[in-house]
Chains A and B, each alone.
Chain A
Amino acid sequence: MTSKLGQVMGRVAATAVIYGAAAGLGALSAQAAEPIKIGFVTEMTGPWAFFGTSCVNGLKMGEKEVNDAGGALGRPLGFVVADNQTNPQQAVAASRSLDTQDKVVALSGPTSSDNALAIYGYAEQNHLPFLVPVAAYPQLTKPGTRYTFRIEPDAAGWGYAIAKYIEQRKPGAKIALIYSDFALMRAIFAGLKYQAERSKLPIVADVVFPQGSTDATVQAAQVRAASPDFVISVGGGGFDNTITNQLLDLGFKPGEIIHPYGITTQILGWGKRSVGSIYGSFFDQGLESVTPAGRAFIKNYKDKYGRPASYIENYCYVTPYIFKAALEAAGSVDREKLRNALSALKMKEPTSDIPIAFNENGARAEYIYYMEITGISDNDYTSKQLYHTEWQPTVIPVNDLVK
């Protein structure tokens, strides 16, 4: 009896040793699969907080999907989010900390051009691959850029595309420009003015508001008095909607108003009065090319955050997919190899099948869609695609137009 009990105890002990060893091996395996760290410096507080937060929402969804599918190089991707407080100095400090303390393999994250430019300097100087998801200021991909790659087309090109769109829609149309004096908007309108002259579109009014403006009644009346065929309108933050409302109050038809870009909160803010208005986009639920994965992303985003994803969330959602592809092509987490892999990358956005490839300066072959608002409800809208164009970043002298 004692002997049998001893045998049972012996078996239990042996089993415990085997399970213990297995658990130990599991832990070792988990240790081996330590995440590949990527610094994500974005605007979680400060005036740009909405864009940074929306971006991180999209990023986290993409990160989870990539990691659920095995990550890259057999390891999960670990995006380390750091708040730059919408402050370029803080953006550099956070980048330095991520580089030297966290030993990230690359940087990404900013949605503000000012912050992206600050990180650009750090990344180029320290040979750290830097993937910009949203910021559109042209100088981020100026000649000589080596470590910075940008997903979003540069803003001067958006202006070029607006002129091309109007040219084909109504040759010789008179246009009026009304916008806020932000870097992004200056770049858009520099491209637009350049191409308007070549597309023979006379500019009958050109109104620039300083940052912090609140009222546009008089300027909207001046634009009305100039009788343009189209008004290209964009303001910073809430002022965007103030300009739009005042143009509509003064009798402009929605179809005469072209917004250079539209994200979900803007479109909902323009409201039902703006059904028929036109806006530029790079990803939108009304696009014809949205893939099933893109539809799932839009739906999941809406279920989670109460509004459909727009191009900002999409570019940040796509970011982990780009890193996965580049890391696997590089075959290592070596920064120089990752940089070379990003440079040679050829893939498609999983959400729209739009190609992603960067030129020698890190700029992407550019494209834009013009959408028409077809319906607006409390938390949603419908739109239809009117026009699509693609061009190479060198089609206009971007770096001469925007210093």
Chain B
Amino acid sequence: MSDATLLIALSTVFSGLILGSVFALVAAGVTIVYGSIWLPNAANGQFFLLAGLLAWSLSTWLGLNPALAALIVLALGMPFAYLLEITLIRRFYDVPDRNVAYFVVTLGLTQVFSGLFSITYGQWSDQYNIPPIIQGIMLIGPFPIANNRILVLAISLLLLAALFILLKHHPYGRALRAVFQNREAAALRGVNVRGIYRLSFILGTLVIFSGGLLFGAAYSFDLSVSWTMAITAFAIMIVGGPGSVLGALVIGMLFGFTQAIVSTFSTPTVATFSYLGAMLLILLIKPSGLFAR
């Protein structure tokens, strides 16, 4: 294999891994909330963007170390999600067909955030770059990759693994899965369903925040990224099976790799939309989603 071919092959693997892990994280955040509360969060792209913008503000305006900035943003994510939950989200817990109401409410939130970002950040810059957490370039064969992107990839994979273990083995994860499967039965077995709802919303929001932070650390971004990510996260959730965290993880990685692999033999336009083609194909075979409960 020539160096040029190896360079392209390795760039495809790393691009697929980084994109896929970020996609998987955000989709997992969306699906945790959907699976438990039945809340299709149309504002997930705005939450994703909010995390990136806050980290950008802290690291560029206040000059904070980007790792510290990310931790602060995550810490802020908790009260942010909690406040939303107590002021807005919990009001619909007992509403029949609340998924429609939630979709409309979160579309409203999308408009509010989009407007706020437009009259603030949109007027301050046209692009946002979070400084790298670590400097330098690593050479893997003929493929040079920034150490910062390797770090982002490592953290993304660790977070995905931690999320998987939490949901699989921790009592909270078991309770959450019980609510996913049958909330009435879970309540009869003593699970605090409303408590699980609250925790799920906070956890889902924090996972989306993590995705935004990691994406912002790996790539420059602008306000339009919120729409791209919102559509991608929903597509992954639908293909993986709404409510299936495993589906979000697997399909997120699959989408990332599809985009990267298609890039090697086709145009970026085809590559960008290839996962939507994959989505249609999978839904034709299994309309309920690959990992539907």
Q: Which residues of A contact B (CB under 8 A)?
A: 44-47, 49-51, 53, 181, 207-222, 224-225, 236-242, 245, 249-251, 265-266, 269, 271
Contacts and interface: CB of A to CB of B under 8 A. Distances in A.
A384 B104 CA distance: 53
A215 B219 contact: yes
Contacts of B123: 44, 49-50, 53
Contact of B144 (A222, A251, A271): A251
B223 interface: yes
Contact of A238 (B18, B124, B220, B259): B220
A245 B14 CA distance: 15
Contact of A237 (B143, B215, B224): B224
Contact of B18 (A212, A215, A224): A215
19 contacts: A46-B118, A47-B122, A215-B15, A215-B18, A216-B268, A218-B11, A218-B271, A219-B263, A224-B7, A225-B5, A237-B127, A237-B222, A238-B222, A239-B222, A249-B137, A249-B145, A250-B7, A250-B11, A271-B129
A228 B97 CA distance: 58
Interface string B1-18: 000110110111011001
B112 interface: no
Interface string B207-241: 00000000100011111110110000000000000
Interface in B106-124: 115, 118-119, 122-124
Contacts of B222: 47, 236-239
A49 B220 contact: no
B22 to A, nearest CB: 9
B127 A238 contact: yes
Contact of B122 (A50, A210, A217): A50
Contacts of A46: 118, 122
Interface SS of B by simple majority? helix
B280 to A, nearest CB: 18
Interface size class of B (residues with CB under 8 A): 35 or more
B56 to A, nearest CB: 10
Contacts of A271: 129
Nearest to A50: B126
B115 to A, nearest CB: 7
Closest 10 interchain pairs by CB?
A: A237-B222, A221-B11, A241-B220, A225-B4, A49-B122, A217-B15, A238-B220, A238-B222, A218-B263, A238-B127
A181 B143 contact: no
A257 B223 CA distance: 26
A265 B123 CA distance: 12
Nearest to A239: B220
A75 B259 CA distance: 59
A237 B49 CA distance: 14
B12 to A, nearest CB: 5
Given A225-B4, A238-B219, A239-B220, A218 B12 contact: yes
B260 interface: yes
Contacts of B14: 217
Contacts of A265: 125-127
A48 to B, nearest CB: 8
Contacts of A269: 127, 129, 220
Contacts of A211: 224
Contacts of B220: 238-242, 245, 269
